[in-house]
Amino acid sequence: MPTNFTVVPVEAQGGERDSAERDAWRQEEEEDNRDRGSGERGEQGGVRRSGDGISRESSPFINSAEMDRGNMYEGKNMALFEEEMDSNPMVSSLLNKLANYTNVTQGVVEHEADEDSKRKEVKVPRMGTFIGVYLPCLQNILGVILFLRLTWIVGTAGVLESFIIVFMCCACTMLTAISMSAIATNGVVPAGGSYYMISRSLGPEFGGAVGLCFYLGTTFAGAMYILGTIEILLTYISPSAAIFKAEEVGEETEAMLNNMRVYGTCIIILMAIVVFVGVKYVNKLALVFLACVILSIIAIYAGVIKTAIDPPDFPICLLGNRTLSKRSFDVCAKFTERNNETKTTNLWLLFCNSSLPTAMCDDYFSLNNVTEIQGIPGILSGVLIDNLWSTYSEKGSIVEKKNQPSVSGSEDIKIAGRPYVFTDIMTYFTVLVGIYFPSVTGIMAGSNRSGDLKDAQKSIPTGTILAISTTSFIYLSCIVLFGACIEGVVLRDKFGEAVNGNLVVGTLAWPSPWVIVIGSFFSTCGAGLQSLTGAPRLLQAIARDGIVPFIQVFGHGKANGEPTWALLLTAAICEIGILIASLDSVAPILSMFFLMCYMFVNLACAVQTLLRTPNWRPRFKYYHWTLSFLGMSLCLALMFICSWYYALIAMLIAGCIYKYIEYRGAEKEWGDGIRGLSLNAARYALLRVEDGPPHTKNWRPQLLVLLNLDCEQLVKHPRLLSFTSQLKAGKGLTIVGSVLQGTYLDKCVETQKAEENVKALMAVEKTKGFCQIVVSPSFRDGISHLIQSAGLGGMKHNTVLMAWPQSWKQTENHFSWKNFVDTVRETTAAQQALLVAKNIDLFPTNQERFTEGNIDVWWIVHDGGMLMLLPFLLRQHKVWRKCKMRIFTVAQMDDNSIQMKKDLQMFLYHLRLNAEVEVVEMFENDISAFTYEKTLMMEQRSQMLKQMQLSKNEREREAQLIHDRNTASRSAPAVKASVAAAMPEKVQMTWTKEKFVAEKHKNKDTNVSGFKDIFNMKPEWGNLNQSNVRRMHTAVKLNGVVLNKSQHAQLVLLNMPGPPKNRKGDENYMEFLEVLTEGLDRVLLVRGSGREVITIYS
């Protein structure tokens, strides 16, 4: 039931806004715009920023023209929506734009962005389905193969196999046309046709690869048409025009190919000049060329009807069952009667050594009779039965008539010089498929003119499918009619030598063979011109899309937009086809490129349908994904049927272009199906990945890299990303995160800038991963958010990589060490591993190469094997590949160091790791005065900074004073005393929970007299926290051992002790780590996650 609408005008209460009120409103609006500042930006990269700072996608209907703001807000009815109308138009204006939308030129500029002020008024397209789609498709599909090769294919493959060949090819194009119709009716189709449809459906990588394949196919099609033109000219119109003549027997083919090359080069230059000078004349002559094709086909059907009434007289001369070429003789007989006298004929001289009847003749010639049969017996003759089956042959074999009596003689004398009709190539089913397929290409001709159509969504499906149906009927009917009317030996005679050098299909035509010869000549000539016109424009469209950087120069042209450079490249590639010179060799090449193009059209339709993309709503309803999949499979099968090596080469070319665009091409977001497919596959894979931890064998560091940014949102330590790419080598998950302090609304622009900078640096350092910038009121909370929530599902990080805070001792940077220690605690709580790179700016870039050196691992406590796995991963990268891996472990007083070394070597053997092993013995000894002084300086500094409320300058002086005292204590002689009774039995190597509890409950009775001696030197030493003294002793002693062994190592990996549970000692913890790593160039502190990450099992 139709719905009735009544439009009731709403009166503006209070009348129209007077001029004073409007001026006041505009002034207020201008002030509001000034307040927004950078919130309202121009359109950049297809994205607009509205007043609220939110990005909005550009559209041909939203924000697509400059509007009069005064008119937009006329009246008070829509005052509530005033602020939104700068980005969202009223429905009335949207509908007005939709109604007046026209197809702007595609391929030159994206139709979404082609809205500048100098855009000319586009004429309303007037072409309908018949003129705009049906006839161009008909002209492009029917062509050279129909006239020059179809009869030969029927004769060689037989009617049945020829029918299968044609049916397969026509089915392929019909299925492709159905898929193309679905894509073409899914929204407004701008000019640009097939390339536009493929690229916007499958993305820039596939679009560029298939677009260039389609371009190469069109270019080689031009070469094929030109070769067909020359073949008609030199074989059927004017054989005497040949420049190269065959001087010896058997050189005819080579001479013909050389003629093709010379004439082809001349014609390609001539055609290129014609296209360059006046392309509009080529388009105007298109109808003339089409008329030639249609007249020729009508002449064929008329000739078939005539054979039923009065078959034409084209006698064929046979010697036994062998077909003879009539180019060398006139009378088909051995002897002739002249004035009651028997004389030998010219045929006799070709087989015998003299004209005498007693001359020595060819054995086969002597034993067999010369007979004449009708070349075109007619449709009622029953010759169809003889032509049903295939007659494949080797190259250079004689064309023979089946079921004809023949006596074989001794072939002592070579048959090469005899006037037989020979086959010029070896024939089999797959070769014929490759040669025939170009005759069904051209189905994209209608979609290429989509910008000139009145209703592209209606015309493209109707016109294309109707044209394919028409041409399929013509081809299939011609196969049956040729097989029913023409003798088999004539059909297999490719160049019409048995019928006095006539075009074979021309002998069937009525009223004269010249109708076909002249018609086919002009049609192939026109098709060549059309290819040279269309191919450069296709290349120009791809070049101006900017997806393939190295062809962007071909996007330029004349002032009127004609693609000059693209025309030159097209002519050069076309010349390659001309130099091949054989139509039968060029045809399979262009078959590959067209089949690949059609395959991806089917793939595009199938992908969009299966993904159920919300935007996939084609008006053409007679499609199904199974039809598209069948079409895609048929295209792929035909590629390998035609020529498996050509198919592989074409795929390799497309694959190289795809990878090149992926590697170097411009980033384009076209809402393509492949992106949707990737998202679907990613969702499926994420759901399949277990949310729990992976098996030890599959464990690899999935990194969260924490970067620091400066005030201009630039990365402070770029080498951290270099180290990331060296550690990951492009494998696994990498999330690069950073925190901006503030609120998101205030920092929106800075966040985008920071993300752009980080991504740019990731591209430079070849770090493959994701960037995540978090805005938080405090830096510590932002880091915590990243550690907790970065990643998705099973794809979460398990390791945090960060740089050591170099400036933690600076008094104005009070929070840096607190944030650092809290980050260490949070990674431990989250059961994540932690890597801290100290002196990160000394780490190598990706371009550096270490030619020698060691990666030293100091394995103090077992943390799940991280320490041994990391050097192995690093050595996969070129920077570290030539470094050797050394593992050091520390033996205590009661450890058997020799046995430890053997056990460690066996462990590494089972882990399949190559490394040198060394056990360092570290015996207990007295705590040095240096250790006490170091601990005292640490505690004094901590207390002074906490208790004294100093100004910034005073804090700096205080820190400098502490530093000077620290330096003086280093130079003092080491004083040793016996404090064994006061010390624990073993040096604590790391601070774990068990050791903390044991230390807490340990008997603390001390030998007071032992302390008196050492504390007499500095009484304040006696007040030191003995736990801090022991830790400092461990740090100092271990640092000395590491320096002794690994001072010149390229990288040192150390176990990172955990922070104390008592938060009051956090600054002391930083001092311990500083002392532990003092004097080393490159250090990576490693703290495991508490689970095994490396296994000896397979």
Place of tokens 């074409």: 650
Residue 605: Cβ-neighbour burial (10 angstroms; 0-12, 13-18, 19+): buried
| Collapsed DSSP state (helix, strand, coil) of residue 859 | strand
Task: Please check whether residue 547 is in contact with residue 207, taking contact to mean a CB–CB distance below 8 angstroms.
Answer: yes
According to DSSP, the β-strands at 47-49 and 55-57 are: antiparallel
Query: pLDDT value at position 59?
Result: 45
| Nearest Cα to Cα of residue 131 among 549, 459, 525 | 459
Query: Structure pTM?
Result: 0.67
CA–CA distance from 585 to each of 113, 520, 581, 865 (Å)? 43, 20, 8, 62
Query: pLDDT value at position 92?
Result: 58
Task: Please check whether residue 154 is in contact with residue 483, taking contact to mean a CB–CB distance below 8 angstroms.
Answer: yes
Query: pLDDT value at position 1014?
Result: 42
Residue type, 243: I
What gap in Å lies between CA 725 and CA 846, rounded to an integer?
Answer: 8
| Collapsed DSSP state (helix, strand, coil) of residue 174 | helix
What gap in Å lies between CA 1060 and CA 1073, rounded to an integer?
Answer: 12
What gap in Å lies between CA 1074 and CA 966, rounded to an integer?
Answer: 14
CA angle 410, 415, 419 (to 5 degrees): 130
Query: pLDDT value at position 330?
Result: 83
Extract the tokens encoding 84.
Answer: 């939104």
Residue 672: Cβ-neighbour burial (10 angstroms; 0-12, 13-18, 19+): buried
Handedness of CA 251, 252, 255, 261 (dihedral sign): negative
Query: pLDDT value at position 1005?
Result: 41
CA 554 vs. chain centroid, Å, equals: 21
Query: pLDDT value at position 631?
Result: 96
Place of tokens 């932690």: 834
Which residues, including other chains, have CB under 8 Å from residue 160's CB and lie 6 or more apart? 388, 389, 390
Extract the tokens encoding 73.
Answer: 């807000």
Query: pLDDT value at position 191?
Result: 55
CA atoms within 13 A on the CB side of 424: 18
Task: Please check whether residue 434 is in contact with residue 425, taking contact to mean a CB–CB distance below 8 angstroms.
Answer: no
CA 251 vs. chain centroid, Å, equals: 47
CA–CA distance from 330 to each of 207, 341, 354, 860, 1085 (Å)? 58, 19, 18, 104, 99
CA–CA distance from 766 to each of 718, 723, 1085 (Å)? 12, 11, 24
What gap in Å lies between CA 791 and CA 691, rounded to an integer?
Answer: 12
CA 367 vs. chain centroid, Å, equals: 67
Which residues, including other chains, have CB under 8 Å from residue 560's CB and lie 6 or more apart? none
| Nearest Cα to Cα of residue 152 among 427, 403, 377, 395 | 427
Which residues, including other chains, have CB under 8 Å from residue 230's CB and lie 6 or more apart? 259, 260, 263, 264, 267
Task: Please check whether residue 255 is in contact with residue 244, taking contact to mean a CB–CB distance below 8 angstroms.
Answer: yes
CA atoms within 13 A on the CB side of 901: 11
Query: pLDDT value at position 989?
Result: 38
Query: pLDDT value at position 203?
Result: 76
Query: pLDDT value at position 347?
Result: 86
What gap in Å lies between CA 894 and CA 129, rounded to an integer?
Answer: 96
Q: By 3-state DSSP, what share of the chain in percent is helix, strand and coil, each rounded to 5?
A: 55, 10, 35
Query: pLDDT value at position 65?
Result: 42
As averages over each run of 10 residues, the pLDDT of the chain (1098 residues) reads 44 45 48 46 42 43 44 49 56 56 37 41 64 86 89 94 95 94 78 70 78 88 92 89 76 85 93 84 80 91 91 88 85 83 84 84 86 89 90 89 79 68 89 92 79 80 94 95 92 88 88 89 87 86 82 79 87 93 88 90 86 82 92 95 90 86 69 69 77 66 89 89 82 88 90 92 89 91 90 84 82 68 88 90 89 87 78 88 88 75 83 83 58 57 51 54 53 36 36 44 40 44 58 78 87 85 72 83 85 62
Q: Before 511, cis peptide (omega within 30)?
A: yes
Extract the tokens encoding 156.
Answer: 């060689």
What gap in Å lies between CA 1081 and CA 1086, rounded to an integer?
Answer: 16
Determine how many CB atoms are found less than 10 A away from the CB of residue 79.
Answer: 10
What gap in Å lies between CA 1042 and CA 1080, rounded to an integer?
Answer: 9
| Nearest Cα to Cα of residue 799 among 814, 782, 787, 817 | 787
| Nearest Cα to Cα of residue 497 among 248, 324, 312 | 324
Instruction: To the nearest 10°, report the CA torsion of 1042, 1048, 1051, 1052.
Output: 0
Q: Which residues pair with 920 in a beta bridge?
A: 890
What gap in Å lies between CA 612 and CA 673, rounded to an integer?
Answer: 10
Q: Which residues pair with 776 in a beta bridge?
A: 741
